[in-house]
Amino acid sequence: MADASRNADTEPLAGEPMSIARSLIRNASRITVLTGAGISTDSGIPDFRGPEGVWTRNPSAEKTSNISQYLADPEIRRLSWRQRLESPAWTALPNDGHRALVELERQGRLVALLTQNVDGLHQSAGSDPSLVVELHGTIKKFRCWDCGDEGPMQAALARVKAGDPDPACEACGGILKSATISFGQSLEPAVVAAAERAATSCDVMLAVGTTLGVYPAAGLVPLAWRCGARVVIVNAQETPFDSIATAVIRVPISRALVELLGGQ
């Protein structure tokens, strides 16, 4: 575990943010990574809150991510199923940023890869699934809200393609949704516990492509910092925790990760 007594040494280091971050990562033995939607934009999956984000361009689309509205309104569910059919996640490929994180794992210094993304691109890039903590679940599976039955999302989507706009659970007749965490849903306790262990046992917390505005995922960064980890943030926009970061990098994410992690 990182030394909590130094509380991340808030004195700034000299040098440009990229060189500072490279030095921190090069000398770290235990690195925990937190990724958000920004890492997948180079793979063709738009983020939610950025200038060209899904919810920025169409605020009403956010309704499909609210569990209360999803459960109460059949039209919201039908819209959600149409969106799932058309999701770019089905054709997206990992980008250089995803692959750079695989290289960090191969070096034996990755504690865990905590991701707010549901697209599975970290695993597609070659990240060990046992090191990937999917904080917000996965779009690759469906789950019944009533009985908990689950299966591959493509099986449910096949029913949508065949003409069922809101497929019910075949086991109990209940409401199906993707195995993702919607607004109003709690994260799985075991997932939260795994993420907190990773945050409290690293010497560098690298937050990539996340606005750090959604909890409890956002709280992992200050948690790591309080436990003595240095924080490096790579994001196009400001975050609430830029002030505790030793380095904040605004370079495009894929390029930044290649520069940060290549040849370490």
Cis omega (within 30 of 0) for bond into 216: yes
Which residues neighbour 242 within 8 Å (Cβ) at sequence distance 6 or greater?
Answer: 233, 248
Helix or strand or coil: residue 240?
A: coil
136 flagged as catalytic = yes
**Alpha-carbon distance 114 to 143, whole Å?**
22
Can you tell me the distance from the alpha carbon of 66 to that of 238, in angstroms, rounded to the nearest whole number? Answer: 25
Q: Do 232 and 246 meet the contact criterion of CB atoms below 8 Å apart? A: yes
> SS3 for 89?
helix
Catalytic annotation, pick one of 77, 84, 122, 136: 136
- The CA distance from 123 to 92, in Å, is 13
Q: Which residues are catalytic?
A: 136
